[in-house]
Homo-oligomer: A and B are copies of this chain.
Amino acid sequence: MKLSLTEENYLKAIYHLSDDSAEGVSTNAIAEELSTKAASVSDMIRKLSKKKVIDYQKYKGVQITEIGRKIALQIIRKHRLWEVFLVEKLSFNWDEVHDVAEQLEHIKSTTLISRLDEFLGFPTMDPHGDPIPDENGDIKESPQLPLSEFSENTTGIVVKVPDSDPSLLRHLDKIGMKLGSRIRVIEKVEFDNSALINIDQSKELYLSGEIAKNIMLAIKE
Q: Interface stretch among A107-115, A124-132, A184-192?
A: A107-115
Contacts of A100 in B (CB 8 A): 107, 109, 111-112
From the candidates B89, B99, B107, name the one contacting A104 in the complex (CB within 8 A): B107
Q: How many copies does the complex hold?
A: 2
Q: Size class of A's contact patch?
A: 10 to 19
A-B contact sample (18 more), CB < 8 A, given A89-B119, A92-B115: A86-B112, A90-B112, A90-B115, A90-B116, A90-B119, A91-B115, A92-B111, A96-B111, A99-B109, A100-B107, A100-B109, A100-B111, A100-B112, A103-B107, A103-B108, A103-B109, A104-B104, A104-B107
Of all chain B residues, the one with the shortest Cβ separation from A108 is B103
Q: How far is the CA of A92 from the CA of B89 in the complex (A)?
A: 18
Query: Which residues of chain A (61-90) have a CB below 8 Å from chain B?
Result: 86, 89-90
Query: Which residues of chain A (93-108) have a CB below 8 Å from chain B?
Result: 96, 99-100, 103-104, 107-108
Q: How far is the CA of A116 from the CA of B86 in the complex (A)?
A: 9
**9 A-B pairs (CB sep. < 8 Å):** A89-B119, A90-B112, A91-B115, A92-B115, A96-B111, A99-B109, A100-B111, A103-B109, A104-B107
